[in-house]
């Protein structure tokens, strides 16, 4: 399977069949595993071989299928699946950092990621420096010989700013720092973060990988040594492992991931183009538009603008709320990457916790609206957005 194309890997990668020869992956909904003998149990606790299981917090065949499939797509040696995207972010950082270490992180982060970096890590003696992720000068100034790791979202939420993975990785590597990338907005379909220099890649699989709004999950990808010696001991002893039910749902999500995400991104591109210059909008932010300040980087790093579009309504919060309330197909929620198109007003929901000046610094104005484009018909979505804008 390793030499096959991504779509083939997504359908067949990691498959294990039971003695029944089922076509669709089996869900092994079990916490534990029976040993043939006391000797076998002892042996397994000394050293579990491949596909030898002990307890579902340590590993499970359905979860292993999910891990192998996503690792194959990413070109990663190994993966550890987690209970949520935040379990993955927390596990990736906590498993490798200790008191006295220095972490440099981009400032534009998902609220919960920011909480880990700004509130939790410093409590345990990790020194954290926040930088503007798009400004390589700031990365260069902040990363030094004591820096143990750098962390960033390769495309930020919700302002869709990119971080140059190759350039930041080069800066980090010069000081021996590990590069940890939250790659959710870039998606596993468009991003090749490991090949571009990242050491550890994280996904909230709640988003595009599930893709149909059912389950919370996450995954940490990296070298076999890093996943098995650093990540796995932390995750299996602290309880953030993925459930077999989630793994089963998300294995099916992986099968259609490429088809869905490519259709979503194509639609997002057309929607962004149709909105540019609209009189009710101050700006349209989409990395696939030539007007995006990092359009060239988006092409080089992703070859796509991905599935999210942000628009800033000229009329501020009132206009944004009127727009949200006038939409007919696109639902008001806060997930993303879903088959259903979703609209979010970040300033009053996902980023409400931030101080006003922090929001300003991140471009999260009262008029900013985030759209996650789903797989509905593009013309219907454009019609829905245009009608709602007309009602503003």
Ligand X SMILES: *Cc1c(COP(=O)(O)O)cnc(C)c1O
Contact between 110 and ligand X (CB under 6 A)? yes
Contact between 216 and ligand X (CB under 6 A)? yes
Out of 84, 105, 243, 246, name the contact with ligand X by CB under 6 A: 84
> Which of the ranges 53-61, 105-113, 134-142, 192-200 carries the binding residues for ligand X, by CB under 6 A?
105-113
Binding mask 280-319 for ligand X (x = CB under 6 A): ----------------------------------------
Contact between 253 and ligand X (CB under 6 A)? no
Out of 62, 204, 215, 264, name the contact with ligand X by CB under 6 A: 204
Whether 210 and 187 have beta carbons less than 8 Å apart is answered as no
Residue 54 token pair: 């002990």
Q: Which of 84, 83, 75, 63 is nearest to 14 (CA)?
A: 63
Task: Give SS3 for 242.
Answer: coil
Contact between 215 and ligand X (CB under 6 A)? no
Contact between 85 and ligand X (CB under 6 A)? yes
Whether 159 and 310 have beta carbons less than 8 Å apart is answered as yes
Contact between 235 and ligand X (CB under 6 A)? no
> Which residue(s) pair with 147 in the sheet?
102
**161/158 Cα distance (integer angstroms):** 8
Residue 68 token pair: 């192998």
> Which of the ranges 37-45, 137-145, 204-212, 257-265 carries the binding residues for ligand X, by CB under 6 A?
204-212
Tell the smallest beta-carbon distance from residue 183 to ligand X (Å).
8
Nearest-CB residue for ligand X: 85
Contact between 25 and ligand X (CB under 6 A)? no
Contact between 264 and ligand X (CB under 6 A)? no
> Over 160-216, what HEC string results?
CCECCHHHHHHHHHHCCCEEEEECCCCHHHHCCCCCCCCCEEEEECCCCCCCCCCCC
Whether 299 and 330 have beta carbons less than 8 Å apart is answered as no
Q: Beta strands 331-332 and 102-106: pairing type? A: unpaired
Q: Please, which residue, 207 or 260, has the CB nearer to ligand X?
A: 207
Tell the smallest beta-carbon distance from residue 86 to ligand X (Å).
4
Contact between 157 and ligand X (CB under 6 A)? yes
> Which of the ranges 64-72, 95-103, 109-117, 269-277 carries the binding residues for ligand X, by CB under 6 A?
109-117
> Which of the ranges 20-28, 134-142, 201-209, 220-228 carries the binding residues for ligand X, by CB under 6 A?
201-209
Question: Look-up: residue for tokens 């919960």?
Answer: 112
User: Cα Rg for the chain, rounded, in angstroms?
Assistant: 21
* Backbone φ, ψ for residue 181 (5° rounding): -120, 125
> Which of the ranges 50-58, 95-103, 123-131, 203-211 carries the binding residues for ligand X, by CB under 6 A?
203-211
Residues in the chain, overall count: 392
> Which of the ranges 13-21, 57-65, 84-92, 230-238 carries the binding residues for ligand X, by CB under 6 A?
84-92
Tell the smallest beta-carbon distance from residue 42 to ligand X (Å).
37
Q: How many CB atoms lie within 10 A of CB 148?
A: 20
Out of 92, 97, 113, 134, name the contact with ligand X by CB under 6 A: 113
Q: How many CB atoms lie within 10 A of CB 203?
A: 30
Whether 341 and 371 have beta carbons less than 8 Å apart is answered as yes
Residue 221 token pair: 């990808």
**295/303 Cα distance (integer angstroms):** 10
Chain positions contacting ligand X, by CB under 6 A = 84-86, 89, 110, 112-113, 153, 157, 182, 184, 204, 206-207, 216, 218
């Amino acid at each position: 399977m390793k030499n096959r194309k991504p779509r083939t890997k997504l359908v067949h990668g990691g498959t294990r069949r039971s003695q029944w020869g089922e076509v669709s992956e089996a869900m092994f909904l079990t916490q534990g595993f029976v040993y043939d003998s006391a000797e076998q149990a002892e042996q397994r606790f000394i050293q579990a071989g491949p596909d030898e299981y002990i307890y579902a917090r340590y590993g499970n065949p359905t979860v292993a299928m999910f891990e192998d499939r996503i690792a194959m797509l990413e070109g990663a040696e190994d993966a550890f699946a987690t209970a949520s995207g935040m379990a993955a972010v927390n596990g990736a950082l906590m498993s490798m950092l200790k008191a006295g270490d220095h972490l440099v992180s981009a400032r534009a982060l998902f609220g919960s990621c920011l909480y880990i970096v700004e509130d939790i890590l410093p409590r345990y003696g990790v020194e954290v420096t926040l930088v503007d992720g798009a400004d390589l000068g700031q990365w260069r100034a902040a990363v030094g010989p004591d820096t143990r790791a750098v962390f960033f979202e390769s495309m930020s939420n919700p302002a869709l700013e990119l971080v140059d993975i190759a350039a930041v990785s080069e800066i980090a590597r010069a000081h021996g720092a590990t590069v940890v990338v939250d790659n959710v907005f870039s998606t596993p379909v468009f991003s090749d973060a490991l090949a571009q220099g990242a050491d550890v890649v994280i996904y909230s699989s709640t988003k595009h990988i599930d893709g149909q709004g059912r389950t919370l999950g996450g995954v940490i990808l990296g070298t076999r040594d890093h996943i098995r010696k650093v990540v796995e001991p932390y995750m299996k002893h602290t309880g953030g492992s993925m459930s077999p039910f989630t793994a089963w749902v998300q294995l099916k999500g992986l099968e259609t991931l490429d088809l869905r995400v490519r259709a979503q991104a194509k639609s997002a591109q057309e929607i962004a183009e149709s909105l540019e210059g609209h009189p009710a909008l101050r700006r349209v932010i989409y990395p696939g538009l030539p007007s995006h300040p990092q359009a060239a980087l988006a092409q080089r790093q992703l070859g796509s603008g991905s599935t999210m579009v942000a628009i800033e309504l000229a009329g501020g919060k009132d206009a944004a709320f009127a727009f949200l309330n006038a939409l007919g197909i696109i639902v008001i929620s806060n997930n993303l990457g879903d088959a259903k198109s979703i609209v979010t007003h970040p300033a009053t929901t996902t980023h409400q916790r931030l101080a006003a000046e922090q929001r300003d610094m991140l471009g999260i104005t009262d008029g900013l609206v985030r759209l996650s484009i789903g797989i509905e018909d593009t013309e219907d979505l454009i019609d829905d957005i245009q009608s709602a804008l007309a009602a503003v």
